[in-house]
Chain A
């Protein structure tokens, strides 16, 4: 076994025969690692192929616009689509301002090696690694148990809790904490691409720091903020564990219309149909259709984010 560079530089190593062997042997590591790539491509193709082939036949206008019927064995998934859209919309409203302001603070107000920056960064990285089920527990304990019950104690009639129970507002706030790192990281990336001259020009014209941030930096960082928002939505739309106890419902005969209503959601709908349906064979077509809708939704959002980001990177290169 040759272990150091010196082994390869001994005089005999440059024999033509040996040189040929060396080159030939290079095929082996290249082949093995290429095989790994091909296996991954194969896995992805099987998953996507299976879902598209089985799901495409179910998709119709009725499927997308009708509520489930007959114990989810017939009908559509409109309430789940509606609930998902409402959920991520509320989540976005909560997470974008916090994420963007955090990124601005880290990038514009503090030095990168200061204690404050490091501790906030540490928190962001750890937040990104917390298991999603732990967010579910947190949402239940904090938003429903602490905030929701707190509101009930102060404002609701005794015995008729209005907020201390699973609801779309608590689910979306839980998701907004889960997706906070996504927005921060994406915004920061955008802030790094803004040329310093722009800021300097703004200061030179007499603008204050806040004016510069508001009028120059935020508009310039908009593509990055948008990317972060889209990635957060894509991530949020696919998460089930955090919303299981904080607001998602098996089945609801009505659409959520108030912040403290429960809601149906695509991912949770998939979970319920796949594991709780009395006859899985009968719900299977609708199940596949729902999976396809969720998959198309998340992939479209991801592609959009990648597209905007690559445009943004091109802008930097052109400067």
Chain B
């Protein structure tokens, strides 16, 4: 029958091929980091590159023209190239903060309703809405923010700049809602029934059980969802590239235009000279984004695993 010696070799080879292929995700992560970091390395050792863009120059105030006040500035294409990362960091944070302010109440609120108050039929109706929202490509959200939302917000609030952190942040928030909703709802529906039953038996009404027992228990999971949503908001590109105005300004106002890290990469990589300081700095920005999202993902993962273990009674 099938126990020919040949099939044993086949078996062996088959298993090895499957095993090797399985490591491709790991290989991909390693290669991504290696190849992006490699292109930003000259910043750390090449004296010629460091003339323009050293860690020191990217971090601290620089006196670009003698006699003038030192300042932070991102102007890679001016006569004196300036590579301060601070304006980009501030822009990225502003957009992400607006996004979170917009997405957390809506995402968590809707998740509480879906997991705790909604009838079964209602829940079946909420799910596709969130799936549709998650399915909108980010370039479409960027387009919507650029053409429709920006005009609406400017007419309504009289913003000085049509494209600004509020506009980009709201569009980002729409992209983040599905992540927060899904994680928060998951966390709440996986709270053990025994906890609910115990609270009900002690005389709490159903909504009190939801808010005083289920919500606090699920809080780590909800927090993990918020953290992952924040990571997405920091890394999202097309929305901010199209809807934020792309001006690298240092200011505390969220109604000013902003330039984020991701949008800077997208906007400047196409025209950059291979191997120049500018090229290396752009890959350095990519490295920062990669490391940041890596840490955020690991953190979220850890919280979720601990929560799961707690629900299974391994940790109390």
Which A residues form the contact surface with B (CB < 8 A)?
2-6, 8-9, 13-14, 22-23, 25-26, 29-30, 32-37, 39-41, 43-44, 47-48, 50-51, 97-98, 101-102, 104-106, 109, 119-120, 122-138, 140-142, 145-146, 177, 180-181, 184, 206-211, 213, 234, 237-241, 244-245, 267-268, 270-271, 274-275, 280, 284, 287, 291, 294-295, 298-299, 302, 306
Specify which chain B residues have a CB less than 8 angstroms from the CB of A9 in the assembled complex.
202-204
B132 touches A33 (CB 8 A): no
* B55: Cβ under 8 A from any A Cβ: no
Please tell me which one of the listed residues B10, B137, B298 contacts residue A237 in the complex, with CB atoms under 8 A apart: B137
Contacts of B15 in A (CB 8 A): 109, 209-210
In angstroms, Cα B297 to Cα A285, docked, is 40
| Contact indicator A123/B28 (Cβ below 8 Å) | yes
- State the CA gap A270–B141 with chains docked (Å): 11
Are A132 and B237 in touch, CB under 8 angstroms?
Answer: yes
B137 contacts A271, C-beta separation under 8 Å: no
Interface string of B3-44 (1 = CB under 8 A from A): 100010011001101110111111011011001101100000
B175 to chain A, nearest CB (A): 11
CA distance A5 to B204 in the complex (A): 7
Q: Does B192 contact A (CB under 8 A)?
A: no
Which B residues form the contact surface with A (CB < 8 A)? Answer: 1-3, 7, 10-11, 14-15, 17-19, 21-26, 28-29, 31-32, 35-36, 38-39, 105-110, 112-114, 116-118, 126, 128-133, 135-144, 146-148, 174, 177, 181, 199, 202-208, 210-213, 228, 231-232, 234-238, 241-242, 262, 265-266, 269-270, 282-283, 286, 289-290, 293-294, 296-298, 301
> With A8-B203, A129-B228 given, is the CB distance from A211 to B2 under 8 Å?
yes
Assess whether B202 is in contact with A8, with CB atoms less than 8 Å apart.
Answer: yes
* Interchain CA distance A51-B141 in the complex, whole Å: 11
Query: Shortest CB–CB separation between residue A210 and chain B, in angstroms?
Result: 4
Interface centre among A48, A98, A129 (most CB of B within 10 A): A129
Q: Report the nearest A residue to B269, measured CB to CB.
A: A245
Q: Collect the chain B residues with CB atoms within 8 Å of residue A102's CB.
A: 21-22, 24-25
- Asked whether A40 and B133 contact (CB < 8 A) given A30-B207, A102-B25, the answer is yes
A residues in contact with B108, CB < 8 Å: 36
CB within 8 Å for A270 and B18 given contacts A133-B235, A133-B265, A134-B32:
no
- A177: chain B residues at CB < 8 Å are 28, 32
**Besides A106-B22, A109-B18, A274-B142, 15 other A-B contacts (C-beta < 8 A):** A8-B202, A8-B208, A9-B204, A29-B210, A33-B116, A47-B136, A109-B15, A126-B294, A127-B28, A130-B32, A132-B236, A137-B39, A138-B32, A238-B139, A291-B143
